[in-house]
Amino acid sequence: MPYVAPQHRRELDPLIDQLARSLVQEARKYEDAAAFAGLLNYACTRLALKVARQRCGPLRYWLIAILTGTFKNLADEFYRRLGQPYEDRQIVKNGDVDVYAEYLEEMEQA
């Protein structure tokens, strides 16, 4: 979870909301419903690079590590908060892959 103070959220949220609306509007120009993914990737990448460049200057290893960690943490948090619960519901709905149960049973016996 990104720990951002409420006063910073109040300043950033309207800007983020405006960008989100613009990305959705641009994505509607494509027939493919998933077209927003490329636009979102571009926007996040460019935003991260612009902030890093303006705040930190030339590219350095530590800056690569920070940006990589930020995006990795973002992806992990997203999956933990939304992906995993979705997957769990789908397993209940459709059934699991049987081989998982075999491995889990072996792990319990070890």
Each residue's pLDDT tens digit, 7-62: 999 999 999 999 999 999 999 999 999 999 999 999 999 999 999 999 999 999 99
Do 50 and 64 belong together in one domain?
Answer: no
Identify the domain containing residue 21 by its residue range: 1-57
Dihedrals φ, ψ of 28, to 5°? -65, -15
Nearest one of 4, 44, 1 to 20, comparing CA atoms: 44
Q: How many domains does the chain have?
A: 2
Do 7 and 36 belong together in one domain?
Answer: yes
CB 39 within 8 A of CB 26: yes
CB 12 within 8 A of CB 27: no
CB 87 within 8 A of CB 100: no
Does the structure show a pLDDT above 80 at 1? no
Does the structure show a pLDDT above 80 at 6? yes
Do 17 and 33 belong together in one domain?
Answer: yes
